[in-house]
């Protein structure tokens, strides 16, 4: 019964105008509470010769992206869930590339098209992306100035989820993938519209990319994903160290992207394990603490390594200290 109710609610939200209304009301409520210019992370541009990639924080934890060929003054946007901040930027985009139909990735397309009448909006042919003007096939290439994108169909999260791969060779840098809700640092999106094996197959497609490929995800969820990773694998020291790094980044409101395909939590089976864990009955979020118990920072006490994050998550487990075989330390994440 619960599954039927979820499917009905999901369809109403994802595939009808009801979802657009809910999304727009959420944006209005968010802006009323935090202001029109509120951002969950600081704007941090990444420049590779004449290539600019700017993660644009929107909504609670989403990222849109501005991709620019600075030599040709060509601008392309990826995943405009909310166009409010983007409209205020002094750029005229040639196109919007949308990874999938969910409103937090496509909800700004209508306003962008109204603002820029000649704008082209691309989305996967199987996804019926709202307000798109061009449907793309798997492997289809798009070129804007020296920006060369390839559409890669990666179903699972939605039937037509599409990852956009940017060729970095002209700019002397590694390729980039704008992974939407397929792949994130230490995690992946939920399989809303396909079996888990389909999502895993799409993740395996990402594993086939060059190790140095930069991954630009659709959400800032590194801290939450790494907390879950340590919860699942408390002896994974690399995950603990990455968690400490992510915590420091988020304390300073600095984005955690890009990661790369060769990071252990990306290239290895971490995302696959996370995908499986999220489909097993009884595997929920880490235990909640009472409100108000928040600490920050980290400290080392003899062989005990303690990590505190905020707010309200706790994960505990024993870690093997590889420098001192036989000694153990415990990781606490609150």
CATH code assigned at 87 = 3.60.15.10
Q: Is residue 187 part of a domain?
A: yes
Same domain, 48 and 151: yes
Domain contains 19: no
249 belongs to a structural domain = no
Assess whether 116 and 168 both reside in one domain. yes
Average the pLDDT over 108-122 and give the result: 97
262 and 292 co-located in one domain: no
pLDDT score at 325:
34
Which of the residue ranges 36-50, 156-170, 247-261, 309-323 would you say has the lowest mean pLDDT?
Answer: 309-323
pLDDT of residue 305: 33
* Residue 287 pLDDT class (50, 70, 90 cuts): very low
pLDDT at 299 > cutoff 90: no
* Residue 103 DSSP class: H
In a shared domain, residues 148 and 197: yes
Q: How many domains does the chain have?
A: 2
Q: Does residue 119 have a pLDDT over 50?
A: yes
Residue 171 sits at the vertex; the CA angle it makes with 132 and 212, to the nearest 5 degrees, is 85
Q: Domain limits at 151?
A: 41-220+255-277
Confidence of residue 1 (pLDDT cuts 50, 70, 90): low
Tokens of 81: 């869930």
In angstroms, what CA-CA distances link 87 with 68, 108, 220, 232?
16, 10, 22, 41
pLDDT of residue 153: 98
Tell me: pLDDT of 171 over 80: yes
Q: Quick check: is 33 in a domain? A: no
Contact between 213 and 260 under an 8 Å Cβ cutoff? The reply is yes
Same domain? 184 vs 296: no
- In the predicted model, what is the mean pLDDT of the chain? 82
327 and 271 together in one domain: no
Statement to judge: residues 304 and 155 lie in one domain? no
| 301, 180: one domain | no
For position 276, what pLDDT does the model report?
A: 43
| 147 assigned to some structural domain | yes
Predicted pLDDT of residue 288? 30
- Asked if pLDDT for residue 331 goes beyond 60, the answer is no
pLDDT digits over 224-253, tens only? 999 999 999 999 999 999 999 999 999 999
185 with 294, same domain: the answer is no
Q: What mean pLDDT do residues 39-54 have?
A: 97
């Amino acid at each position: 019964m619960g599954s039927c109710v979820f499917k009905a609610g999901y369809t109403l939200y994802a595939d009808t105008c009801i979802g657009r209304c809910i999304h727009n009301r959420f944006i209005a409520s968010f802006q009323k509470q935090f202001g029109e210019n509120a951002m969950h992370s600081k704007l941090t541009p990444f420049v590779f010769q004449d290539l600019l990639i700017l993660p644009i924080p929107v909504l609670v934890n989403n990222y849109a992206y501005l991709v620019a060929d600075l030599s040709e003054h060509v601008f392309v946007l990826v995943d405009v869930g909310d166009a409010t901040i983007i409209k205020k930027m002094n750029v005229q985009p040639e196109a919007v590339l949308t990874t999938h139909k969910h409103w937090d990735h496509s909800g700004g397309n209508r306003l962008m098209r109204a603002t820029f009448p000649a704008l082209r909006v691309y989305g996967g042919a199987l996804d019926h992306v709202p307000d798109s003007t061009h449907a793309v096939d798997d492997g289809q290439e798009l070129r804007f100035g020296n920006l060369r994108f390839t559409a890669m169909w990666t179903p699972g999260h939605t039937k037509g989820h599409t990852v956009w791969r940017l060729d970095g060779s002209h700019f002397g840098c590694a390729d980039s993938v704008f992974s939407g809700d397929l792949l994130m640092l230490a995690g992946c999106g939920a399989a809303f519209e396909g079996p888990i094996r389909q999502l895993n197959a799409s993740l395996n497609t990402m594993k086939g990319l060059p190790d140095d490929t930069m991954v630009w995800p659709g959400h800032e969820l590194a801290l939450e994903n790494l907390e879950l990773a340590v919860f699942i694998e408390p002896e994974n020291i690399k995950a603990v160290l990455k968690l400490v790094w992510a915590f420091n980044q988020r304390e300073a409101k600095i984005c955690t992207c890009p990661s790369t395909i060769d990071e252990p939590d990306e290239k290895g089976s971490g995302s696959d394990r996370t995908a499986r864990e999220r489909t097993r009955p009884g595997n929920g979020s880490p235990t909640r603490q009472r409100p108000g118990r928040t600490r920050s920072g980290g400290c080392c006490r003899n062989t005990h390594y303690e990590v505190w994050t905020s707010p309200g998550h706790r994960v505990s487990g024993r870690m093997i200290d590889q420098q001192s075989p036989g000694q153990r330390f415990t990781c606490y994440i609150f």
